[in-house]
Structure 1
Amino acid sequence: MSKTVEINKFLEPAKLGEWNLQSHVAMAPLTRCFADLDTGIVGEDVVEYYRKRAADGVGLIITEGIVISQRGRGNPGVSGLYSNEQIAAWKKVTDAVHAEGGTIVAQIWHVGRLSHHELTGGVAPLAPSAIQAQGDVSRLGKPFSMPEEMSEQDIQQVLDQYAQAAQNALAAGFDGVEIHGANGYLIDQFNTDLTNQRTDRYGGDLKQRLTFMKEVIRTVIDVVGTKRTIIRFSAMKVDNLAYMWEDPEQAIATFMDAFKEVGVTNIHLSIVDFTQVVANGMTLNQLVRKYWDKVIIGVGSITPQIAEDALQEGLIDLAAIGRPLIANPDYVHRVKNGMTLEDYDVQQLFTLV
């Protein structure tokens, strides 16, 4: 990519569907686990954390993962959106963001098998198939529990929980919803042959395995509307970072067909490295753009220059920034004024700034 393009479009206001955004900068969903350990309620520190980013000029804030039920929890301290108290707490966040001219969407989340029974109310985590994940639960330090294969009744209950979470997001004042369908969590567990060995209509080849994801998307769009719904998807898993589809281009084409079928307009591809070439001389985002002409949110260690180039090329419509927004609450200000960005330090995960 060119190294001479000035950083202009990245910082300009953006119009995406019903959203009038302060810039083309999106805040990637950064799950920090700062909610109350028992109740999943966020506090004033979380209100201030998001307010600062809105005040700085971030265009679209995508929240940390917010679980749709207790059984959907995968870490101590994750926030929820399934009780009135949780809704009221998030309303303080959205009010603060809106007061600064910001736009904020709730990333709604179910971790599926990537949990422990101590976090899910003493019952086994849910999964498409009873296949135990390898490794330990982050921040808990205990091995993932053996999950329970979901029945048709379980699936319908979870779909109802997604619908309720979408309604709760609107009640909390969010401008929309991102469905977390990436990184090896519940929706992605249905999408992947490693974790989905079902023989009913939710199993089979990739096209058939996307059935649950499509049902979730339809459920949320029915509540929120397509222009205020984002679906996040990925090849990589938090418990298998090296995973890649056997045929990335065919997989992308299959995903895009599924999104078109259910009326999606906004997608968010989760990858570690935005610039990595994966198939046929193209990056994953280039493959996506080959098959998709609607909104793409790009992510993956994106620098301001990479963002500017990708936006100018029409490869993406927003650039999502992750760790630099942890290290630099004034990220937009620094980029706009040519200032040096503070390096991300893993210790910053344990404090909200």
Structure 2
Amino acid sequence: MSQATRGIYAATETYNWGKLKDGENSKLFEPVEIGAWSLKTRTAMAPMTRCFADDETGVIGEDVVEYYRKRAADGVGLIITEGVLVSFRGKGNPKVPGIYTEEQTEAWKKVTEAVHTEGGTIIAQLWHVGRLSHNDLTKGYPPQAPSAIAAEGNVPRFRKPYDTPEEMSLADIEELVGQYAQAAKNAMDAGFDGVEIHGAHGYLIDQFNSDFSNHRTDRYGGDLAQRLTLMKEITKAVIDTVGTNRTMIRFSAHKSDAPTYMWEDPERAIQTFVEAFKEVGATLLHPSTMDFNRVIADGKTMHQLVRKYWDGVIVGVGTLDPQSAEQALVEGTIDVAAFGRPLVSNPDFISRLKNGNDLEEYEARKHLPVLV
């Protein structure tokens, strides 16, 4: 098992957060307008793959409907779904859902209806894992990637080494951009309030962003600014489909297959990403890190560096606790605080925070999320 996989499957996680100073008056529980959405609170449910879909069809069932309904009913402001595939070739775990067929899209309608009945807001995270897969998961086709370079480690929950991918042709890339746009349209047809583009954690879009997985010499290769070409094309295509106020983009330095990776010049890298997002008209960012409080350059954390160059919406994430989330909201570093595993083990997470009640511990064997 790889180091990344061991981190994902940590046996337990204990919460010892204490009470918020202002209780129900905390900034966490304020309503807020971001993008096209009127959120009940400044909280978000971070995307976490559940692997509860039918393995053959990628269609979700009633258990997924109830799972998201409970979190909406408790007052989570913004629910970001588990990663939802834009193509069968984007599959990197067994039993992950898709949104590229009519049957998959129809099944998601029950989820969005349930969330909206509870007054919640939900967006679909659009996902393609690229080289972090195996041909047994992609109907015999090799995984897709910017270059034919295999990742190190094993596919989570599949226990087979990552397969050697095939380098995507220009036609493949054009098709991929269209798949993201179509998936975004399908998401809106399914009743979602918007979408998040997963451009982080070493998956396909991020593989194009990274020098160790992208050795191309065409317009999709080169320095960081040039390697962001695919991310820009996908973001623009999705924005053109659903609108910038319904399109969130997630990016990171962290890679699932290289968990210690960091940009050589973090501040310059973040500035380059932000310039790219501004170029295509993005307005909603979800910078992702495994440790929200980690200083990475010039005495600043990732989210503080993003804020230095970005005056749009920022969703913060990375093992946040209520105190650090509250501080970041008050300082204006972030606009919404996203929580992951605590929301898996506590469907009444918001109520427990408001009332100062203890949280149920997260246990991997019991709750089984794969962080994406």
Match of 1:139 in 2: 157
Aligned-pair CA distance for 1:61: 0.2
Is the 1:326–1:348 Cα contact (8 Å) retained in structure 2? no
Is the 2:235–2:249 Cα contact (8 Å) retained in structure 1? yes
Is the 2:200–2:251 Cα contact (8 Å) retained in structure 1? yes
Any idea what SS the aligned residue of 2:362 has?
A: coil
Is the 1:40–1:79 Cα contact (8 Å) retained in structure 2? yes
Alignment of 1:204-353 (within 5 A): 204-350=222-368
Is the 2:35–2:284 Cα contact (8 Å) retained in structure 1? no
TM-score with structure 2 setting the length: 0.92
Aligned-pair CA distance for 1:225: 0.2
Letter in 2 for 1:102: G
How many Å separate the matches in 1 of 2:208 and 2:179? 17
Is the 2:314–2:336 Cα contact (8 Å) retained in structure 1? yes
Aligned-pair CA distance for 1:102: 0.2
How many Å separate the matches in 2 of 1:122 and 1:18? 40
Q: Deviations over 1:104-147 (max 9, x none)?
A: 00000010000000111101110000000111111111111110
Aligned-pair CA distance for 1:341: 1.4
Match of 1:187 among 205, 213, 216: 205
How many Å separate the matches in 1 of 2:293 and 2:206? 23
TM-score with structure 1 setting the length: 0.97
Task: Considering Cα pairs closer than 8 Å and 6+ residues apart, tell me whether 1 or 2 has the greater RCO.
Answer: 2
1:266–1:4: structure 2 CA closer, same or farther, 3 Å change rule? same
Match of 2:123 among 80, 99, 105: 105
How many Å separate the matches in 1 of 2:175 and 2:164? 20
How many Å separate the matches in 2 of 1:339 and 1:12? 19
Alignment of 1:37-186 (within 5 A): 37-186=55-204
How many Å separate the matches in 2 of 1:57 and 1:280? 36
Letter in 1 for 2:152: Q
The count of corresponding residues between Structure 1 and Structure 2 is 349
Q: Supply the RMSD in Å over aligned alpha carbons.
A: 1.1
Aligned-pair CA distance for 1:5: 5.0
Any idea what SS the aligned residue of 1:80 has?
A: coil
Letter in 2 for 1:76: P
Any idea what SS the aligned residue of 2:314 has?
A: strand
Letter in 2 for 1:247: D
| Structure 1 residue ranges (4+ consecutive) displaced by more than 6 angstroms after TM superposition | none
How many Å separate the matches in 2 of 1:74 and 1:111? 6
| Structure 2 runs not aligned, ≥5 long | 1-18
State, as a whole percentage, how many aligned pairs show the same letter: 64
Is the 2:20–2:353 Cα contact (8 Å) retained in structure 1? no
Aligned-pair CA distance for 1:262: 0.4
